[in-house]
C-alpha cells in the first residue's frame, strides 16, 4: 500500500515538473512575443510621428497709382502679388525636410503668373539648416527685412537699387544658438562670370524679444554684358541693421550699407544706403507707417543716381485677410527731376494649412 502511495507521489511530482516546465516555456514565449509586439508598436508609432505638413498661400496686391515725374500718369500697378507653397516632412531624430516654391502674379501685366521668387529644397537639423535653390540671401534676411514694412514694390527704397532680394543658384546655411544666429549663403552660377563661387554673403545677428541687431558682409562678381564668361565688376558691401518695438507699440528699424564697386577697367565707385522705417498702431485696425531713405552715389556726372526721400503710409485692416492702404512716396534725385507718387491699394491674403 505504501509502495503504491510512493509510486503515485513520484508520478505526481513528475507530472508537476513537466507541467511547470511547460508553463515556464509558454511564459518565456509569451514574454518574447510581448517584446516583439512592443518593438513593432514602437516602430509603428515612430513612423506615424513622421508626418508631413503643408501650407498653400497667396497675396493679391493691386493698386491705383498717380505718378508725377516730367509728366503725370495714372496706372493700375501691382505691389508684389505672389503665390506659393511650403512643405515640411519629419525625418526623425530632429531632422526635417523642407520644400518651398513661390511665384509672382503681376496684376499690372495681364495678371501674368510664373516669375519665380523662391524655389528650393533643404532640411533643418540639430546641426543647422541647409537649402539649395532660389532663396532670400543673408543681406535681405538680416538687413532689409526689418525696414521692409511698406506695401510698395521698391521698398526698402535705398536698399532696392543695388541690393539683392532673391538669388538663384544659391546654397544657404543657418545655425542658431539661443539669441545668436549665423547665416551664410553662396551663389554658384558656373555659366556666367566665375566658374565657381559668384556671391558670398555672411551675417551674424542677435535677437531678443522685439530687439534685433545684425552685421553682414557681401561679396559679389558680375559678368561682362558682352562676354558673360568674364568678370566685369566686383562688389563688396558691409551692412548693419537695428530694430526694436517699444512698449508704446512704436516700431523703429534702421539699415545702413556701404557698397564698394570695382568696375572693369579700374574705376571705383562708393555707394552708401540708409533706410529708416517707423510704424505706430493708431488703433486696433489702423497703422501709420513712415520712412526716410538716402542713397549717396559718388559717381561723377549724369550717371550719378543719388537720391533721397520719404514714404508715408496709412493702413486700415478690415479683417485678418483684407487690407486697404494709401501711400505717398517722394523721391528727390541729384541728376533727375523729382518724382512723387500717390497710391491707393488693396491687399487680400489667403492661406491654407494641413
What is the β-pairing status of strands 52-60 and 322-333? unpaired
Alpha carbons 97 and 89: distance in angstroms, whole number: 5
Number of domains in the chain: 2
Residues 287 and 172 in one domain: yes
- Alpha carbon of residue 37 to chain centroid: 44
Alpha carbons 247 and 64: distance in angstroms, whole number: 35
Tens digits of residue pLDDT in 100-144: 999 999 999 888 887 899 999 999 999 999 999 999 999 999 999
Alpha carbons 186 and 170: distance in angstroms, whole number: 6
Tens digits of residue pLDDT in 297-311: 988 777 889 999 999
DSSP states of 294-322: EEEE---GGG---EEEEEEEEEEESSSSE
> Rounded to two decimals, what is the model's pTM?
0.83
Residues 107 and 21 in one domain: no
Per-residue confidence (pLDDT) for residue 1, from 0 to 100: 47
Q: Which residues of the chain register pLDDT less than 50?
A: 1-3, 5-25, 44-45, 47-48
Tens digits of residue pLDDT in 221-252: 877 666 666 666 889 999 999 999 998 899 99
Domain range enclosing 320: 52-353
* DSSP conformation class of 158: T
3 state DSSP class of 187:
strand
CATH of residue 267: 2.40.160.10
Cβ contact 170:201 at 8 Å:
no
* pLDDT averaged over every residue in the chain: 87
Per-residue confidence (pLDDT) for residue 344, from 0 to 100: 98
Q: Where are the alpha helices (DSSP H) in the chain?
A: 2-49, 138-142
Give, rounded to a whole angstrom, the gap between the first and last alpha carbons of the chain.
83
Residues 114 and 26 in one domain: no
Amino acid at each position: 500500500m505504501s509502495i503504491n502511495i510512493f509510486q503515485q507521489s513520484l508520478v505526481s511530482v513528475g507530472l508537476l515538473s513537466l507541467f511547470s516546465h511547460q508553463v515556464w516555456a509558454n511564459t518565456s514565449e509569451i514574454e518574447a512575443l510581448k517584446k516583439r509586439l512592443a518593438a513593432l508598436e514602437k516602430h509603428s508609432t515612430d513612423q506615424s510621428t513622421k508626418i508631413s505638413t503643408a501650407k498653400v498661400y497667396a497675396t493679391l496686391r493691386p493698386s491705383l497709382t498717380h505718378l508725377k515725374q516730367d509728366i503725370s500718369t495714372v496706372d493700375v500697378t501691382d505691389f508684389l502679388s505672389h503665390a506659393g507653397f511650403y512643405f515640411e516632412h519629419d525625418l526623425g531624430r530632429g531632422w526635417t525636410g523642407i520644400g518651398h516654391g513661390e511665384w509672382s502674379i503681376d496684376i499690372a501685366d495681364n495678371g501674368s503668373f510664373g516669375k519665380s521668387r523662391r524655389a528650393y529644397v533643404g532640411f533643418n537639423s540639430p546641426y543647422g539648416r541647409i537649402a539649395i535653390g532660389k532663396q532670400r540671401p543673408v543681406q535681405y534676411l538680416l538687413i532689409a527685412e526689418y525696414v521692409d514694412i511698406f506695401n510698395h514694390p521698391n521698398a526698402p527704397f535705398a536698399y532696392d537699387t543695388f541690393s539683392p532680394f532673391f538669388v538663384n543658384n544659391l546654397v544657404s546655411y543657418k545655425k542658431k544658438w539661443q539669441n545668436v544666429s549665423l547665416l551664410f549663403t553662396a551663389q554658384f552660377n558656373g555659366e556666367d562670370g566665375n566658374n565657381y563661387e559668384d556671391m558670398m554673403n555672411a551675417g551674424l545677428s542677435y535677437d531678443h524679444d522685439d530687439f534685433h541687431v545684425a552685421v553682414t558682409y557681401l561679396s559679389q562678381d558680375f559678368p561682362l554684358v558682352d562676354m558673360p564668361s568674364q568678370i566685369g565688376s566686383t562688389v563688396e558691401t558691409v551692412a548693419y541693421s537695428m530694430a526694436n518695438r517699444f512698449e508704446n507699440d512704436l516700431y523703429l528699424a534702421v539699415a545702413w550699407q556701404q557698397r564698394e564697386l570695382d568696375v572693369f577697367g579700374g574705376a571705383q565707385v562708393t555707394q552708401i544706403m540708409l533706410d529708416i522705417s517707423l510704424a505706430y498702431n493708431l488703433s486696433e485696425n489702423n497703422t501709420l507707417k513712415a520712412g526716410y531713405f538716402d542713397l549717396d552715389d559718388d559717381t561723377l556726372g549724369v550717371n550719378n543716381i543719388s537720391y533721397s526721400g520719404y514714404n508715408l503710409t496709412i493702413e486700415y485692416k478690415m479683417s485678418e485677410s483684407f487690407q486697404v492702404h494709401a501711400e505717398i512716396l517722394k523721391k528727390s534725385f541729384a541728376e533727375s527731376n523729382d518724382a512723387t507718387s500717390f497710391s491707393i491699394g488693396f491687399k487680400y491674403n489667403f492661406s491654407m494649412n494641413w
